[in-house]
């Protein structure tokens, strides 16, 4: 049976730039090593997606709406359904002095934030700097090798995946209880994480949207006195 809009699924995928085969991302550790993009600090595991909800590029989402669990897909995503076409108007030439303290340190290829936008430095010379504010993958056609592993059916599976989507916590440390509400325990090592309030709001919104049986979400944080050294 084809997947429906809002279905929660687990997928593995590897993404490359079509023209040159450069690997951009992979949920599979061995693939990431082959593509020389392996990050030892990253947890490699299948990714949860809500089908048709914009959790992945539009060109992939559209294909998933007509796919089935178990499908191994090769999806070509043109720029219009990925990161857009490259736009000359987003390339700016500015005086180098506008970079302030960074002016002496920047070099071609560096990413820099300016006016709340991230740009790549393309040229430095004659007291000026050229910054490209296009997305680094603008104008690129991408290729996804994607395997639909599973549709999440039980509330427990959905809760675990939706929490771990936003908080990198081992599944065996994840504690929650469903009574008149869903009570989620926040581990001590996560409780002081920057932006936790925004993360909690995101988790609650996801759970309330995709798990109809749950009407209320509560987060429990506990703090313990450290033992004397």
- 15 and 78 share one domain: yes
- 104 and 170 share one domain: no
pLDDT for 193 equals 75
- 143 and 46 share one domain: yes
Q: Domain span at residue 100?
A: 88-132
In Å, what is the CA distance from 163 to each residue of 156, 166, 169, 170, 173? 11, 6, 9, 11, 12
Pick from 118, 153, 188: which residue ends a domain? 153
Tell me the C-alpha distance between 214 and 207, whole Å. Answer: 7
Contact 74, 90 (CB under 8 A): no
- 5 and 82 share one domain: yes
* Residue 38 tokens, joined: 């392996």
47: phi then psi, degrees, rounded to nearest 5: -105, 140
CATH of the domain at 110: 2.40.10.330
The count of other CB atoms within 10 Å of the CB of residue 106 is 16
* Residue 165 tokens, joined: 């989507």
Looking at the structure of the chain, the number of domains it has is 3
The count of other CB atoms within 10 Å of the CB of residue 113 is 9
Tell me the C-alpha distance between 33 and 39, whole Å. Answer: 9
pTM: 0.84
- 149 and 54 share one domain: yes
pLDDT for 187 equals 80
CATH of the domain at 70: 3.10.50.40
Q: What is the pLDDT along the chain (229 residues), one digit of tens a residue?
A: 789 999 999 999 999 999 999 999 999 999 999 999 999 999 999 999 999 999 999 999 999 999 999 999 999 999 999 999 999 999 999 999 888 888 888 899 999 988 888 999 999 998 899 999 999 999 999 999 999 999 999 999 999 999 999 988 888 888 999 988 999 998 877 777 788 899 999 999 999 999 999 999 999 887 677 777 6
């Amino acid at each position: 049976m084809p997947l429906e809009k809002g279905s929660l699924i687990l997928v593995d995928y590897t993404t490359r730039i079509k023209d040159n085969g450069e690997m951009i991302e992979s949920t599979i550790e061995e693939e990431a090593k082959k593509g020389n993009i392996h990050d030892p600090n990253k947890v490699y595991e299948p990714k949860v997606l809500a089908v048709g909800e914009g959790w992945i590029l539009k060109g992939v989402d559209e294909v998933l709406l007509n796919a089935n669990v178990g499908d191994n897909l090769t999806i070509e995503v043109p720029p219009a359904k990925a990161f857009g076409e490259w736009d000359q108007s987003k390339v700016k030439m500015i005086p180098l002095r506008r970079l302030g303290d960074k002016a002496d340190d920047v070099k071609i290829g560096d990413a820099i934030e300016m006016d709340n936008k991230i740009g790549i430095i393309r040229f430095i010379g004659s007291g000026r700097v050229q910054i490209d504010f296009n997305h680094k993958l603008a104008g690129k056609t991408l290729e996804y090798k994607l395997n639909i592993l599973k549709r999440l059916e039980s509330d427990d599976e959905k809760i675990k995946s939706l929490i771990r989507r936003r908080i990198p916590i081992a599944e065996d440390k994840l504690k929650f209880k469903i009574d008149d509400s869903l009570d989620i325990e926040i581990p001590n090592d996560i409780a002081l994480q920057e932006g936790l309030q925004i993360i909690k709001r995101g988790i609650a919104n996801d759970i309330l949207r995709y798990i109809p049986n749950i009407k209320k979400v509560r987060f429990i944080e506990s703090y313990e006195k450290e033992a004397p050294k």
